[in-house]
A and B are shown apart, each in its own frame.
Chain A
């Protein structure tokens, strides 16, 4: 399927846009465009995989989606707000509605696993006696119930990744963006994590997972958007 057709099809899907990109392009400095004419929409409550080979622009696209930087061109509409015209002072509130699993985890080394996971709740102004139990339960669910006080540098890559995922989902965000969330865990844990994402999705969170691990796509019925050389080139609709 051609890129333009794929973009039109995806953009035309469903109603209730959580996120919409229209003709988005991105380049760094005077370099070539790493994203070109990207157009798609994430429906509220959808579950989507973003696939593509390394270097295809998945992480850059995610960065635009979680407001790490503005696109060079094109329009992004998030939660109904056109980012080009939305005041910067509104961005923190938009960002708090997004849970992000970063490819490099970005855990705070001086905080325990518990405090790392609790961070979004603290930023939302919640108190320890309100969130403590939820955080413990979530860490238990991802298999780290015995390592609440462990600092990230003392944990394995897989354990750190699970903390990063727990942190992204703990506040039940409206939109979850995960960049290679199962890259460092064994298949059993990967399945468990995908189930966690599905559970969150059932509760109403829109989920987008960027991955180059195609085996993940077999674990759940989700549509696929594929990026190659900065263009959305094909899509797969969820099986019915």
Chain B
């Protein structure tokens, strides 16, 4: 027999090579966006967990009356220690307060000269639920100058920031998917034009549109899969390098949270070539079917 395996009906189109490059770059950008959203989500979750299991009570000072501040602090401590569900209640020491304001006022600031509030840090025991509104009321009765800060404002802003980063990343992913689909549509049309004779003959010989579309979609699916996998692997390499630098104590990008990804997060990158391949497959199929539908 002539051949062990029939040859491909649709010849490989060399003109499709630039498409591989474009989809490779798209895969790289998509993986970066996806990883950025994962880092943002993980960082926000860490911050939320750190802040949500505690609260701070600040007691405002009366000018020139240090004894009132001390007395109210004692009352607050007593009220807090009598509250069930708190695992830790601690007055922030002068040294700790100095460390907190050092970034703004500089080292060696004399706290005694400043009307700083006294801070009491409290941690909620794991699993415990505390009605913070009622507790704030009780504290107000015990110490009229006290204010309970449950970090709600900060948490809300933090959530908004994280959500913005995450949704921006998803928007970028959607745009990349759209651009990929548009690119494949363009390439498919060019491929149809390049293989006009083959398509016309197959159509004339009674090939179903689905059969012809299958010959095209397979090509674009495999191309997109390989190209986007290459791009995504490069992106994974970038994050792995950042992880390595952080492990060596080097901060690759100042002010950003740790960029290193865990194995589970890296596994998400596999979805990039899978989705890119499916987008290419569906787009190529629909483009070919639409073009063939115009034939007699």
In the complex formed, the residue of B with least CB distance to A111 is B7
List 11 additional contacts besides A91-B296, A113-B2, A136-B1; criterion CB under 8 Å: A68-B204, A70-B296, A92-B209, A97-B206, A98-B206, A100-B204, A115-B7, A118-B6, A120-B205, A128-B3, A149-B2
Nearest neighbor of B210 in chain A, beta-carbon distance: A92
Residues of B within 8 A of A92 (CB): 206-209
> Residues of A contacting B202 with CB < 8 Å?
123
Q: Which residue of B lies closest to A168 (CB)?
A: B205
Distance A148 CA – B2 CA, assembled complex (angstroms): 6
A106 at the interface (CB under 8 A from B): yes
Interface residues in B186-215 (C-beta closer than 8 Å to A): 197-198, 201-202, 204-209, 211
A-B contact pairs, 24 of them (CB 8 A): A68-B296, A92-B206, A92-B207, A92-B208, A92-B209, A95-B204, A96-B205, A98-B206, A100-B205, A106-B197, A108-B11, A111-B9, A112-B2, A112-B7, A114-B1, A115-B2, A115-B7, A122-B6, A123-B205, A128-B1, A128-B3, A128-B6, A132-B2, A133-B1
Q: Which residue of A lies closest to B201 (CB)?
A: A106
The answer to whether A114 and B3 touch (CB under 8 A), given A106-B201, A108-B198, is: yes
Nearest CB of B to A70, in Å: 6
State the 4 A-B residue pairs at the shortest beta-carbon distance, nearest first.
A96-B206, A95-B206, A114-B2, A110-B11
Report which of B5, B204, B207, B209 forms a contact with A128, defined as CB distance below 8 A. Answer: B5
Q: Interface residue tally of chain B, by bracket?
A: 20 to 34
The answer to whether A94 and B7 touch (CB under 8 A), given A70-B296, A106-B197, is no
Interface centre among B6, B198, B296 (most CB of A within 10 A): B6
Number of A-B pairs, beta carbon distance below 8 Å? 72
**A94-B206, A96-B206 given as contacts; is B6 within 8 A of A67 (CB)?**
no
Residues of B within 8 A of A118 (CB): 6
B residues lining the A interface (CB < 8 Å): 1-3, 5-7, 9, 11, 197-198, 201-202, 204-209, 211, 296
Which of A66, A113, A148 makes the CB contact (< 8 A) with B204?
Answer: A66
Docked complex Cα distance between A97 and B202 (Å):
14
**Which B residues lie within 8 Å of A96 (CB)?**
205-206
Q: Does A216 contact B (CB under 8 A)?
A: no
Question: Contact at B296–A69, with CB atoms within 8 Å?
Answer: yes
Alpha-carbon separation in the docked complex, A181 to B11 (Å): 27
Give the shortest distance, in Å, between A159 (CB) and chain B (any CB).
Answer: 15
Asked if A1 lies at the interface with its beta carbon under 8 angstroms from chain B, I say no
Task: State the CA gap A115–B208 with chains docked (Å).
Answer: 19
Q: How far is the CB of B54 from chain A (nearest CB, A)?
A: 68
A122 to chain B, nearest CB (A): 6
Asked if B9 and A122 make an inter-chain contact with CB atoms under 8 angstroms apart, the answer reads yes
Tell whether, in the assembled complex, residue A149 and residue B3 are in contact, meaning their CB atoms are under 8 Å apart. yes
